[in-house]
Amino acid sequence: MALVEEDTRTAAPAGAGGQDAAVEVSGLRMRYGGTDVLHGVDLHARRGEVVVLLGPNGAGKTTTVEILEGFRARSAGEVRVLGADPATADERWRARLGVVMQSWRDHGRWQVGELLAYLARFYAPYSEPGRPRPRPMGELLETVGLADCAHRRVNTLSGGQRRRLDVAIGIVGRPEVLFLDEPTAGFDPEARRDFHDLVHGLADEDTTILLTTHDLDEAEKLADRILILAGGRVVAQGSAEELAARVPADAEVKWTRGGQRFVHSTPDATAFLRGLLNEAGDEVTGIEVRRASLEDAYMSLVHRHETGRAHEAAAAFTEEVR
């Protein structure tokens, strides 16, 4: 499937979030030894916005998030989270963030409620008007679906319950910016649906959420905006619909007529269906229309980037041999 020419204007400059920007990143670079893993990443997120980072392993998603959290020092670029530079921000700033890492396995002998109450104490001095910290314990346990587990030891929880606890730890301080790194790994379908409701609820409270995931369906359900990273660069960004529209694929129309199933590809599904219904009318049933999806756009963009890098590497090798 071909991809339309990349529109570099989709890379938003720092400050694009305006006065309500919670996260502003411009020209972010990261180098490990002699290897660059981030190449001038630009990123912004407004208050209450859900931004999803997609990309293959090694694309730079986790490194980007760790820099924004203040856990890793960047090599170059400008970064502001809630108006502060994460590299030099203080504890009051950290109390305004929530972090859910890919895995966290400490304190196995603690009871769930005991652990959350202990962590909640660290947020109490940083309450602000309209945003009391920490979140009430009963509300917190109910929100993440652990109301019946308050007195259970952490090491007795199932994988899905353990992941719910990770989320509870991330939101106990009622964060203004919440970082979620593969948050639904190990969730069953019901828990995943509950988590999606939780994310939407937090966004309604004006919490900015940056989420990394490999689950394209999850990204499509949750994101106000999606950034696709490949090779340490933002290769595209936009809503799921905007990204899918960049794939110049015909729509696939399926329908049933006279007990037979038909499939037809067309560049204009609306015009085709109008003609079909004018011709056959009530004989046509079970109509389905499939247009290019987020998965189509993601695969095309990543494949294009990786193909381009392979060509560049081959050209550089050829030149070196000469």
Percent of the chain with pLDDT over 90: 53
List, for residues 299-319, the tens digit of each pLDDT value: 888 877 766 554 444 444 344
Q: What is the mean pLDDT of residues 251-263?
A: 89
Confidence band, pLDDT 50/70/90 cuts, at residue 251: confident
Taking domain 8-243, whether its CATH number is 3.30.420.40 is answered by no
Lowest average pLDDT, out of 45-54, 185-194, 221-230, 267-276, goes to 185-194
> How high is the pLDDT of residue 188?
80
Confidence band, pLDDT 50/70/90 cuts, at residue 249: low
Q: Peptide bond preceding 134: is omega within 30 degrees of 0, i.e. cis? A: yes
pLDDT at 2 over 60: no
Cα angle for residues 148, 154, 155 (degrees, 5° grid):
125
CA 5, chain centre distance (Å): 24
Q: 290 has which bridge partners?
A: 252
List, for residues 13-33, the tens digit of each pLDDT value: 444 555 689 999 999 999 998
Percent of the chain with pLDDT over 70: 86
The whole-angstrom separation of Cα 159 and Cα 184 is 11
- Spatial neighbors of 34 by CB under 8 A, at least 6 apart, are none
List, for residues 87-118, the tens digit of each pLDDT value: 999 999 999 999 998 766 667 889 999 999 99
pLDDT at 44 over 90: yes
> How high is the pLDDT of residue 311?
43
> How high is the pLDDT of residue 317?
33
- Spatial neighbors of 66 by CB under 8 A, at least 6 apart, are 72
The domain spans of the chain are: 8-243, 247-321
pLDDT at 154 over 50: yes
List, for residues 279-291, the tens digit of each pLDDT value: 988 888 899 887 7
pLDDT, averaged across the chain: 85
The whole-angstrom separation of Cα 13 and Cα 34 is 27
159-171 vs 112-120: helix crossing angle, rounded to 10: 20
The whole-angstrom separation of Cα 184 and Cα 248 is 32
**Strand pairing class (177-181; 97-100):** parallel
- Spatial neighbors of 132 by CB under 8 A, at least 6 apart, are 174
Count Cβ atoms within 10 A of the Cβ of residue 30 and give its class: 0-12 exposed, 13-18 middle, 19 or more buried: buried
The whole-angstrom separation of Cα 47 and Cα 96 is 13
List, for residues 195-216, the tens digit of each pLDDT value: 899 899 999 999 999 999 888 8
Nearest to 23 by CA among 80, 99, 94, 105: 80
> How high is the pLDDT of residue 297?
78
> How high is the pLDDT of residue 13?
41
Confidence band, pLDDT 50/70/90 cuts, at residue 3: very low
Q: Can you give the length of the chain in residues?
A: 322
> How high is the pLDDT of residue 318?
40
